[in-house]
Chain A
Amino acid sequence: MNWFYFSSPSTFYGLAGRLAPWFFVAAALLAAWGLYLGLLVAPTDAQQGEVYRVIFIHVPTAWMSMFLYFIMACYCGLSLVFNTRLSAMMARAIAPTGALMTFLALWTGAFWGRPTWGTYWVWDARLTSELVLLFLYFGYMALANAFEDPRRGDRAAALLALIGVVNLPIIYFSVQWWNTLHQGSSVSFKGTSMHVTMLTGMLVMSASAWMYAIGATLVRVRSVILERERRTAWVRSLGAA
C-alpha cells in the first residue's frame, strides 16, 4: 500500500468528501445519546444543582480545544519539516473548529461560573490560559492569511502555532500549579469521582465532539484545497462538465 497516495491534495479531496458525512452521522448519533443521558437521565448534582449539566458541553469542548490545537501544531510541524502541502492545509482547516471549541468552553464556563462562583469571569490561571488559547487560534488564522503568497502564510503561522504549544501544558496543569478558582479534574487515569451516568454522558459527548470536529475539518479542508489548487488541471476539470 502506498501511504503517500492520500497525502496528495487531489486524492485527499475525494477521500475527505466520502468520509465527512459518516463523521457527521456518528457525531449526531453520539450527541443524541449523550444529550439524552446528560439532560434527561443524569440526576441532579448534590452540590451544584442543575447547572452542572453545562459540563456535558464544557468538558468535551475544553478537551477538544486542546486536542485540536495539538493536532494542528503537529500538522504545522510536518509542513515546516517536510514542506508537505496537505499538512499545511489540514492545519488551516482545523483552526476555525478549534477556535469554536475554545469559545464554547469559555462561554459555557462563564455560564456555569456565574451561579457557582458568583462571577462570569475571573483572571484565574485556568481561564486566562484558555483565553490565550483562543487568541493563539485567532493569531494563527490571521497570520496564515496575512501574506500574498499562501506558502509564506503557512510557514509564519506554523511557527506561531508551534511556539503556542507551550500554552497546552500550562492550561492542563494550571489547576495544580496555581491556586485557582477552577476545580481540579473529576476524571483522571486513576479513576473518577463522578456518578456513572454523568461520566458516561460526558464521554459520549466527547466522542461526539471528536466526530464533529473531524467532519468539519474534512469539509473545510476540501474548500482550502480548492482555494489553493485553483489553477491546477485537476481542479479545473472538476466542474467542467
Chain B
Amino acid sequence: MTIWWKSWSDFWAMGGQAFFVWMSFGALLVAIVVEMLSLRLRRKRALDAIEEERDLETEN
C-alpha cells in the first residue's frame, strides 16, 4: 500500500498524459456536481408546484 509517486508534481504530471487523465477525472467531478444540483432543483420545483396548487385552492 505504498504510494507509487515520488512527488506531488510527478503525480499531477501523470507521466506526460496529464491532459487525458485529468480531463477524465475532471468530467467525473463535474458530472456528480451537475447531477446533485439538478436533483436539488427538481425537488425544489416539485415542492413549489405543490405549494402553488395549495395556494390556488385556498383562494377559490
Contact = CB atoms under 8 A, between A and B. Distances in A.
Given A220-B42, A236-B54, A239-B51, A41 B20 contact: no
B14 to A, nearest CB: 4
Interface residues of B, number: 32
Given A104-B31, A108-B24, A226-B47, A115 B17 contact: yes
Contacts of A49: 15-17
Given A51-B17, A223-B42, A239-B47, A100 B24 contact: no
Given A216-B39, A230-B53, A231-B53, A41 B46 contact: no
Nearest to A235: B50
Contacts, number: 95
B8 to A, nearest CB: 11
Interface in A94-131: 96-97, 100, 103-104, 107-108, 111-112, 114-115
Interface of A: 39-44, 49-51, 53-54, 57-58, 96-97, 100, 103-104, 107-108, 111-112, 114-115, 212, 216, 219-220, 222-223, 226-227, 230-231, 235-236, 238-240
30 contacts: A39-B11, A40-B3, A40-B5, A40-B11, A41-B1, A43-B4, A49-B15, A50-B14, A51-B14, A51-B21, A54-B24, A57-B24, A57-B27, A57-B28, A97-B35, A103-B31, A104-B27, A107-B27, A108-B27, A111-B27, A115-B17, A216-B39, A220-B42, A223-B43, A226-B43, A226-B50, A230-B49, A235-B50, A236-B54, A239-B50
Interface of B: 1-5, 11, 14-17, 20-21, 23-25, 27-28, 31-32, 35, 38-39, 42-43, 45-47, 49-51, 53-54
